[in-house]
Each structure stands twice: as structure tokens, then as C-alpha cells.
């Protein structure tokens, strides 16, 4: 058992019943990078008892500007294993399952059945990856189950952490990655279309909660000689800063904690 003092702040905020729900929860975080690493940090520091971390990538020097587990000593390590070590440094009792994998339409949600905990015991999933096909696979699944789910938009090319927002996918703006997700859900999976302009009907929601920013995406600065970037939507291609990526991850974790406690 962990010390009552360690998570006393969670007890006082959510009450004993809510804090107990958080400690008994199993949360899956997909993508342990500039967003996902901060989400994991927040979940573990809030007492979430079981975490499954999904990522096939390894830490590189270019990750240091925004990923909490990226330090000189961890460069070259698996992101999930480095994050597991970090969590256990302050919360040894947390059950952390590591999955060296990328999510795709062929392995989700069956991927979860390869871990210690079966998919039917998952209480929440945070999608912190930047691959559109992976996001689509998880969003399609999330609309069919009752598991708490939140997907995170593109943090690359954003500078204003205070612009971070949370909304249904139908109401997201200024996010090319989530725009692609919305388009494909509507085109390929019968998600509701937007309410016609001028209609008196209530806006149609898609049922996918998103963390994003309405700040326009900034292309790489001309002084870097990268006026023409590769059109990718990730932080490596567009440039990034930790205030935004961390805010996205913390917002996603906060949403999950509030849902778990409720």
C-alpha cells in the first residue's frame, strides 16, 4: 500500500470514493512522446494503479526539448521502458505494462489482449499518437464501447499553451490532424455530419473528446532553411515547444481523472 500522504491531495480533491476509483483504474496511453509522456506522468502522480504504455519508438536527442523521460542517460532506450522506470522512481507500486508496438487497424483493440490486463478491464484510453490510421482505428473502437477515451490533436507548430482546449471532434478547429480524423469517420464510418448552417437543431456531436488548440499552425521558421517542410503534422516536422505538448498531455490526463473519479 502507498502512503496516505503521497496521494492525499487527490483524496481531498475528489473525495475518498473518487480517489479510490482512480487508484483502482487501468489506463492505456498510446504514444509515449511529447504529449503521452506528460499524460503518463500526471496519471501516475495522481495514483492511477495500472498503466499500459504503447509505443515502438526509442528516445533520441531531438526528443529532449519536449519529452519528460528524454534525458542524456535514457537516449537510445525504448520510450515505454524509460517511462516505466520513471514512474517506478516515485510510485513503485504502480503496475506498468509496456508494449513495444504501433497501433494500426489490424491490431486494435486485440493488441491490448497481449498485455497483462485484458481489454475488458481497461477503464480509459488516451490516444497521444500522431498517426492518422492509428487514430482512426482507436476512434472507431471508442464510439462502440463505454471505455473513457480522449484523442489528442497535433501539437506541432503551436506556441501558445494557454490556447489548449477540449471539445467534441465535431467542434474542433485549427487542427489538420483531427480534421482528417473527422473527415474519415464521416466518410468511412457513418459519423454524424455537421448541422447545416442556419439550422435550429442542436449541433451533432461525434462522441470523441479531443484535446487541441485553435491557434493556427506555424510552419518551420525561414531562418532554419526549412521553408518547405515535409507536410507531416508531427512535432519533428513542424517544430515544437514543451509548454504546448505538456499542456496537451496534462489536459488529456485531467479529463480522464475527472471521468474516473465520477
Q: What are phi and psi for residue 150, nearest 5 degrees? A: -145, 135
The mean pLDDT value for 207-224 works out to 91
Report the mean per-residue pLDDT for the chain.
Answer: 90
Q: What is the CATH number of domain 8-261?
A: 3.40.50.720
Average pLDDT over residues 163-180: 96
Confidence of residue 150 (pLDDT cuts 50, 70, 90): very high
| pTM across the whole model | 0.91
User: Residues near 14 by Cβ (< 8 Å), separated by ≥ 6?
Assistant: 22, 257, 261
Q: How confident is the model at residue 200 (pLDDT cuts 50, 70, 90)?
A: low
Lowest pLDDT segment from 96-100, 153-157, 235-239: 235-239
If we measure between CA atoms, which residue out of 175, 192, 176, 53 comes closest to residue 126?
Answer: 53
Q: What is the 3-state secondary structure (H, E, C) of 138-161?
A: HHHHHCCCCCEEEEECCCCCCCCH
Amino acid at each position: 500500500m502507498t502512503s496516505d500522504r503521497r496521494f492525499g491531495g487527490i483524496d481531498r480533491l475528489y473525495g475518498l470514493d473518487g480517489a479510490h476509483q482512480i487508484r483502482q483504474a487501468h489506463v492505456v496511453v498510446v504514444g509515449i512522446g511529447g504529449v503521452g509522456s506528460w499524460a503518463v506522468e500526471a496519471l501516475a502522480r495522481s495514483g492511477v494503479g495500472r498503466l499500459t504504455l504503447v509505443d515502438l519508438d526509442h528516445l533520441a536527442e531531438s526528443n529532449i526539448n519536449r519529452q519528460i523521460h528524454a534525458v542524456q542517460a535514457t537516449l537510445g532506450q525504448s520510450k515505454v521502458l524509460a517511462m516505466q522506470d520513471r514512474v517506478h522512481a516515485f510510485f513503485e507500486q504502480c503496475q506498468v505494462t509496456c508494449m513495444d508496438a504501433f497501433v494500426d487497424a489490424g491490431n486494435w483493440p486485440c493488441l491490448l489482449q497481449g498485455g497483462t490486463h485484458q481489454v475488458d478491464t481497461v477503464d480509459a484510453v488516451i490516444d497521444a499518437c500522431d498517426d492518422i490510421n492509428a487514430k482512426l482505428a482507436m476512434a472507431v473502437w471508442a464510439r462502440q464501447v463505454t471505455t473513457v477515451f480522449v484523442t489528442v490533436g497535433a501539437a506541432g507548430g503551436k506556441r501558445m499553451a494557454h490556447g489548449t482546449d477540449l471539445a467534441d471532434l465535431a467542434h474542433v478547429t485549427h487542427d489538420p490532424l483531427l480534421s482528417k480524423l473527422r473527415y474519415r469517420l464521416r466518410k468511412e464510418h457513418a459519423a454524424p455530419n455537421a448541422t447545416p448552417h442556419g439550422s435550429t437543431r442542436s449541433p451533432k456531436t461525434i462522441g470523441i473528446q479531443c484535446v487541441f488548440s485553435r491557434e493556427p499552425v506555424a510552419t518551420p521558421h525561414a531562418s532554419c532553411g526549412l521553408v518547405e517542410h515535409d507536410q507531416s503534422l508531427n512535432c519533428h516536422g513542424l517544430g515544437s515547444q514543451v509548454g504546448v505538448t505538456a499542456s496537451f498531455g496534462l489536459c488529456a490526463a485531467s479529463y480522464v481523472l475527472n471521468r474516473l473519479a465520477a
